[in-house]
Amino acid sequence: MSGSQATDSIVVQLRSTDVRRRIGALLRLQDKADQAAQPEVVEAIVDNLAHPAKAVQRHAAGAMAAAGASDPAVAARLVALLDAPQARTRWAAAYALGRIDGALDMRACAALIEALSNPDGDVRWAALELLVRVGRLNRDEMRNRLLALGQSPDVTGCKMALYGLRDLGICDATVLASARAACASPDSHVRLAALSFLKQAGAGGREAAPSVAECLETVRDPGVRRAAAFTLGYLDDRSERVLRALRQAADAGDAALSKAARQSLARLKEER
């Protein structure tokens, strides 16, 4: 088979109505970067970035990454796709750029921030990993983008923004105030993210101790209460309110809550 015939054949497979044929072609292209980088093949792969099947989308990103590793034109095509009309394409382009050494930068920030609100948990956590990677080199700008998302009414995005700020180790006064406010969120997942952030902040999050104690004292969700009890052990606050809340939790009928509270009481005693 000639080179042009091979290209025609792979393009036909990439646009097949049979998902298995598409995936098979995409997998083969990941080992044939030169063929994957041919313009007509690149465009056929691009069509798969927005495919409704997550496996097709993931393998399309892999094929684009394989081609882009040695061909700057492919990476440039991915950058252009960050402004594509479909959210699935924007995310897949950012994901593929993340698999090419040195290709992912702040140009992908908007697509990654958007992906933090994706209903698919796999997408959200993958986007968070890439955001943190970019954010380490662009801390101020990423801090502002995550803070804005964390203060938005988007519950899922708010939760993921707190995890991003946690993983970047950003804990200035404004960010800390946002996390403290999130402790009062009506959504348990947001509260858990705020508590995780504050636990990571340690003594730097001490001023949020009353808000965490409030969670322990008043929230009904047992998971939130356990997380609050555990977090208090890291905030270096030995006020009477905190100690009283922990002692009461230690005597609670919930064995897991009692264990978390006792661990925190021990930690606070040891760190005196």
pLDDT-based confidence at 176, cuts 50/70/90?
Answer: very high
pLDDT of residue 272: 47
Whole-angstrom Cα distance, residue 190 to residue 247? Answer: 25
Mean pLDDT for the stretch of residues 13-19:
95
Domain locations along the chain: 1-104, 105-169, 171-272
Long-range contacts of 73-79 (CB under 8 A, 24+ apart): 73/37, 74/36, 74/37, 74/42, 75/100, 75/103, 77/42, 77/46, 78/103, 79/107, 79/108
Fold of 171-272: Leucine-rich Repeat Variant (1.25.10)
* Helix, strand counts (H, E) of the chain: 17, 0
Angle subtended by helix axes 222-232 and 209-218, to nearest 10: 150
- For the stretch 200-257, pLDDT in tens is 999 999 999 999 999 999 999 999 999 999 999 999 999 999 999 999 999 988 999 9
DSSP character at residue 153: S
- Other C-beta atoms closer than 10 Å to the C-beta of 190 total 24
Same CATH fold assignment for domains 1-104 and 171-272:
yes
In terms of CATH, what superfamily is 1-104?
Leucine-rich Repeat Variant (1.25.10.10)
pLDDT of 1 higher than 50: no
Mean pLDDT for the stretch of residues 179-203:
97
Two tokens at 179? 């996390």
Angle subtended by helix axes 87-98 and 121-135, to nearest 10: 50
pLDDT of residue 5: 66
**243 and 229 in contact (C-beta within 8 Å)?**
no
Angle at 90 between CA 125 and CA 66, to 5 degrees: 80
pLDDT-based confidence at 271, cuts 50/70/90?
Answer: low
| Nearest Cα to Cα of residue 109 among 82, 86, 87 | 82
pLDDT of residue 3: 53
- For the stretch 82-141, pLDDT in tens is 999 999 999 999 999 999 999 999 999 999 999 999 999 999 999 999 999 999 999 999
Higher-pLDDT residue of 217, 6: 217
Whole-angstrom Cα distance, residue 199 to residue 208? Answer: 10
**98 and 83 in contact (C-beta within 8 Å)?**
no
**What is the Rg, in whole angstroms, of the alpha carbon atoms belonging to the chain?**
24
- Other C-beta atoms closer than 10 Å to the C-beta of 55 total 13
- Other C-beta atoms closer than 10 Å to the C-beta of 24 total 15
pLDDT of residue 254: 92
Whole-angstrom Cα distance, residue 64 to residue 80? Answer: 13
